[in-house]
Amino acid sequence: MTTSNEPRTALVLAGSKGLGRGCAESLAAAGNRLVLCARGSEALEATAADLRADGAEVVTQVVDVRDPSQVADAFAVAQEAFGSLDILVCNAGGPPPGTFATVTEDDWRTGFELTLMSVVHAVRHAIPAMEARGGGRILVLGSSSVRKPIPNLVISNVYRPGLVGLVKHLAVELAPSGITVNMVSPGRIQTDRVDQLDAKAAERQGITREEVRANSIATIPMGRYGDPRDLGDLVAFLASSAAGYVTGQSVLVDGGMVPTLP
């Protein structure tokens, strides 16, 4: 990765809300130029406007990460706008929730394209762009399900650990090119997705969403849900030149919620 004073370019998938927005904010605060992508144009442009108001250089592209051609378009925009790519943040909305008995064949296919193949497609485009720069940073957003299965999220429990395998493989394969590959996985972070999951849990258990939240917080040693910037700041560090010797890692950002051994 370039070590000059030239600004670096970061492409953030699903970057308009939640964890993706937290990553975009942290990367912008670190001085990176942004190619911000999301499926919904209204939220995308609103987030971009907020980032520009804080001084960031941002271009946008509407992308459904399940569509390989739209993922390819995002990289073309990065090249056209900035002429380079140094950082890729792979993110996507969560796969359909449910148990093995309740999810459908279509849910499995959606989860496969959304959770696993979106990363494969994005990395394929990132590698030649980063090799041309002499290196780069690939960050994959995961879930605490990579360490401990989460009830009612069977699809996440299957596909996200597969991403850990991909990260470990790519870290070795791409290290000679100066490209690092790491996964950052949230626990209970305050996002729309977590709000939806809490609401579904409340419905299943016959209690209020507030009670579900209180029960979840009781399992978190730090005593709170995380903020998207808690995760974004770690992503920004791993994307920096200071993390050039860190690769192949899967790091939880969960306030101590999942006390498992590696």
Each residue's pLDDT tens digit, 32-48: 999 999 999 999 999 99
Do 161 and 217 sit in the same domain of this protein?
no
Do 153 and 221 sit in the same domain of this protein?
no
Do the domain assignments include residue 4? no
- Alpha-carbon gap, residue 56 to 48, rounded angstroms: 9
- Could you count the other beta carbons within 10 Å of the beta carbon of residue 251? 15
Of 131-145, 152-166, 201-215, minimum mean pLDDT range: 201-215
Q: Closest by alpha carbon to 119, among 163, 72, 79?
A: 163
Do 198 and 106 sit in the same domain of this protein?
no
Do the domain assignments include residue 2? no
Mean pLDDT of 129-153: 95
Do 177 and 210 sit in the same domain of this protein?
no
Do the domain assignments include residue 259? no
- Please state the domain count of the chain: 2
Q: What is the pLDDT of residue 79?
A: 96
Mean pLDDT of 156-169: 97
Q: What is the pLDDT of residue 215?
A: 92
Do 162 and 95 sit in the same domain of this protein?
yes
Do 163 and 66 sit in the same domain of this protein?
yes
Do 149 and 132 sit in the same domain of this protein?
yes
2 — pLDDT class (breaks 50, 70, 90) = low
Do 125 and 192 sit in the same domain of this protein?
no
Do the domain assignments include residue 242? yes
262 — pLDDT class (breaks 50, 70, 90) = low
Return the residue matching tokens 């626990």. 187
User: How long a stretch of residues is the chain?
Assistant: 262
CA-angle at 126, arms to 120 and 129, nearest 5°:
155
Does residue 1 surpass a pLDDT of 90? no
Mean pLDDT of 168-186: 98
Do 96 and 169 sit in the same domain of this protein?
yes
Mean pLDDT of 165-194: 95
Mean pLDDT of 1-18: 84
Do the domain assignments include residue 219? yes
Do the domain assignments include residue 262? no
Do 195 and 134 sit in the same domain of this protein?
no
Mean pLDDT of 220-229: 95
pTM of the model: 0.93
Do the domain assignments include residue 255? no
User: HEC string of the chain?
Assistant: CCCCCCCCEEEECCCCCHHHHHHHHHHHHCCCEEEEEECCHHHHHHHHHHHHHCCCCEEEEECCCCCHHHHHHHHHHHHHHHCCCCEEEECCCCCCCECCCCCCHHHHHHHHHHHHHHHHHHHHHHHHHHHCCCCEEEEEECCHHHCCCCCCEHHHHHHHHHHHHHHHHHHHHHHHHCEEEEEEEECCECCHHHHHHHHHHHHHHCCCHHHHHHHHHCCCCCCCCECHHHHHHHHHHHCCHHHCCCCCCEEEECCCCCCCCC
Do 88 and 180 sit in the same domain of this protein?
yes
Does residue 27 surpass a pLDDT of 80? yes
Does residue 6 surpass a pLDDT of 80? no
Q: What is the pLDDT of residue 4?
A: 56
- Average pLDDT score over the chain: 95
- Alpha-carbon gap, residue 192 to 91, rounded angstroms: 15
Do 212 and 202 sit in the same domain of this protein?
yes
Do the domain assignments include residue 3? no
Whole domain around residue 206: which residue ranges? 188-225
Which CATH number goes with the domain that contains 164? 3.40.50.720
| 91-112 residue pLDDT tens | 999 999 999 999 999 999 999 9
